[in-house]
Amino acid sequence: MAFDTEKNSYTVIFAAIMVVIVGSLLAFMASSLSDRISENERLEKQQNILYAMGVNENGDDEGSVNFVSTSTVAGEFNKYITEQLIIEGEEVTKDENAYLIDLKKEETRAKAGEVRRLPLFIGEKDGQKYYIIPMRGKGLWDAIWGFMSLDENMVVQGVFFDHAGETPGLGANINQRYFMDDFIGESVLSGSRYVGVAVTKGNNDPTNERKDDNAVDALAGSTITGDGVTAMIRETLKLYKPYLETIRVKN
Amino acid sequence: MALLSKKDTSLILDPLSDNNPITIQVLGICSALAITAELKASIVMSISVLFVMGMGNVVISLMRNIIPSKIRIIVQLVVVATLVIIVDQVLKAFAYELSKTLSVFVGLIITNCIIMGRFEAFALANGTWRSFLDGIGNAAGYGVILIIIGFFRELLGSGTLLGYKVLGDPIAKTGLYAIGYENNGFMLLSPMALIVVGLIIWVQRSRNKDLIEEN
């Protein structure tokens, strides 16, 4: 052995060299794969948005979430999503890349006192219009996010939720059909107030028969994730309320 | 097999049965509990561990003479963590949907004690080729058990295998469900994985009495 591996100086030098090698290897990996990864994430976003308005390949399958396939999603997205809007305060502009807006960055901008850009997508299927609202909130461990599509009566037409790291088997099940499908048909209005749809325990409606109670049955064992979903919907609606008031059918 | 001497062959084959990392060495139990509710996750986890373990043992073995003994555990951790991040990034780039279902579990490979155990016990003291075989063998032994557990948990817990409804449809009451069979939701919970591991240990030890420990 040429080196004395017991010496302190050797240990320090070894550690330093190792860190440099490993660091550059990982940096190289990350930058060479980042294009592919962000393309995958972009397609996923399109799949999620379409899923929320009911464009998916669920068919007769009652159990699992089946997105439009990644190879066709770009075309389907252009076909069904007719308008993409950015709402900045009073101002509403069209922008066909609104779906790429990072909600987390907008949150930071709002905190810094700037006007927040709120993306909203209008989809059309079989003559019906869907207003799809993206949302982002906090679960138990990490971020949760989703898309909710509404019609002109402010009735939920579909939702899609996902999470970064909720507990597998418990909170992670917010992206399962048996949870998401319950939202369909619920109204986010109570009278003329935007109350959202709450995830509640013990609303005596486990099969979700009542569609007028602004509530769906919670997942067992995931109180905090469920509360996170409730809060996410409520807070998001607060932001979108001025715009939603302009499209709501009043009767 | 000219490529593999008798010792080499035993390096690969022993961990599959008589020196299995899970049932005999009792390593890697934690991940065996966490991810085996579905067969697919078990298979992918096994393949990922196979890669990380084979590569990791080779890297550690190559460096075994220059690693300062004071920080050898840290060096081992760095090697595992690097390999795991590479697996994670590659899955995200080339198998995005799979990486979503595995999200948390890929990270769990780092905490898999089999990997650290083999680095410490074998790769630090043996040549590169043997270390590679040892890594592959142990990862395969781990994978076999994982797949067996995943098979039974998915079959009995959800009535499916790899997502296919092999026992019929529980809602429409076809196949076995027509004659009153029910899925056992218990199988989906982690404790049942431990019980299945226990059963495997039982079967294995009653077939080979040499494995029974003396008290």
Burial label for B3, CB within 10 Å (0-12, 13-18, 19+), is exposed
Q: Which two tokens stand for residue B175?
A: 């196949």
pLDDT for the residue A232: 95
A26 contact B CB<8A: yes
Confidence band, pLDDT 50/70/90 cuts, at residue A130: very high
Which of B90, B96, B188 is facing A40, going by the closest CB pair?
Answer: B96
User: Which chain A residues have a beta carbon less than 8 Å from that of B90?
Assistant: 33
Q: How far is Cα A115 from Cα A109, in angstroms, rounded to an integer?
A: 7
Distance CA A183, CA A176 (A): 12
Please compute the mean of the pLDDT values over residues A12-22 and round it to a whole number.
92
Contact B68 A40 (CB under 8 A): no
Give A5's contacts in chain B (Cβ within 8 Å).
65-69
Q: What angle do CA B11, B19, B88 make, to 5 degrees?
A: 75
**Higher pLDDT among residues B113 and A44, named by residue:** A44
pLDDT of the residue at A58: 79
pLDDT of residue B1: 47
The more confidently predicted of residues B107 and A49 is A49
A178 at B interface, C-beta within 8 A: no
Q: Residue range A17-35: average pLDDT?
A: 93
Residue B129 phi/psi, 5-degree rounding, is -65, -45
Q: Which of B37, B69, B96 is closest, CB to CB, to A5?
A: B69
Nearest to B19 by CA among B134, B152, B147, B151: B134
- Distance (Å) from the C-alpha of residue B161 to the closest C-alpha of chain A? 15
Q: Which residues of chain B have pLDDT under 50?
A: 1
Confidence of residue A20 (pLDDT cuts 50, 70, 90): very high
Name the residue among B74, B93, B163 with its Cβ closest to that of A33.
Answer: B93
pLDDT of residue B2: 55
Q: Within an 8 Å CB–CB cutoff, is residue A16 touching chain B?
A: no
β-bridge partners, A161: A146
Which pLDDT belongs to residue A233? 94
Nearest CA in chain B to A170: B189
Q: What is the ipTM of this complex?
A: 0.71
Which residues of chain B have a CB within 8 Å of the CB of A1?
65
Residue A60: per-residue pLDDT: 67
Dihedral sign, CA of B99, B100, B101, B103?
positive
CB contact under 8 Å between B71 and A14, yes or no, is: yes
Task: Give residue A32's pLDDT band: very low, low, confident or very high (50, 70, 90).
Answer: very high
pLDDT (average), residues A219-244: 91
pLDDT of A222 over the 90 cut? no
Res. A31: pLDDT tops 60:
yes
Average pLDDT rounded to a whole number, residues A93-106: 88
**DSSP label at A3?**
S
The Cα of B90 is separated from the nearest Cα of chain A by a number of Å equal to 8
Contact yes or no for B82 and A14 at CB 8 A: no
The pLDDT score that the predictor gives to residue B165 is 79
Chain B partners of A29 at a C-beta cutoff of 8 Å? Answer: 85-86, 89
pLDDT reported for residue A234: 93
Torsion angle of C-alpha atoms A8, A10, A12, A18, degrees rounded to 10: -150
Q: Is the pLDDT of residue A231 over 90?
A: yes
**A contacts of B66 (beta carbons < 8 Å):** 3, 5, 14
User: Which DSSP state fits A215?
Assistant: E
How does pLDDT run across B122-176, given as a tens digit for each residue?
Answer: 888 888 998 999 899 988 988 998 899 989 888 888 787 877 778 877 767 777 8
A13 and chain B: CB distance < 8 Å anywhere? no
Q: What percent of chain A has pLDDT over 90?
A: 38
Contacts of A14 in chain B (CB under 8 A): 66-68, 71, 75
CB spacing of A18 vs B78 below 8 angstroms: yes
A24 touching B (Cβ < 8 Å): no
Distance from CA of B159 to the nearest CA of A (A): 13
The 3-state secondary structure of chain B, one letter per residue: CCCCCHHHHHHHHHHHCCCCCCCCCCCCHHHHHHCCCCHHHHHHHHHHHHHHHHHHHHHHHHCCCCCCHHHHHHHHHHHHHHHHHHHHHHHHHHCHHHHHHHHHHHHHHHHCHHHHHHHHHHHCCCCHHHHHHHHHHHHHHHHHHHHHHHHHHHHHHHCCECCECCCCCCCCCCHHHHHCCCCCHHHHCHHHHHHHHHHHHHHHHHHCHHHCCCC
Residues of B in contact with A19 (CB under 8 A): 78
pLDDT value, residue A119: 93
Contact residues, chain A, for B68 at CB < 8 Å:
5-6, 10-11, 14
Which residue of A7, A32, A33, A34 is the best one to mutate when testing the B interface, meaning the one whose CB has the most B CBs within 10 A?
Answer: A33
CA distance, residue B93 to nearest chain A CA (Å) = 5
pLDDT at A146: 94
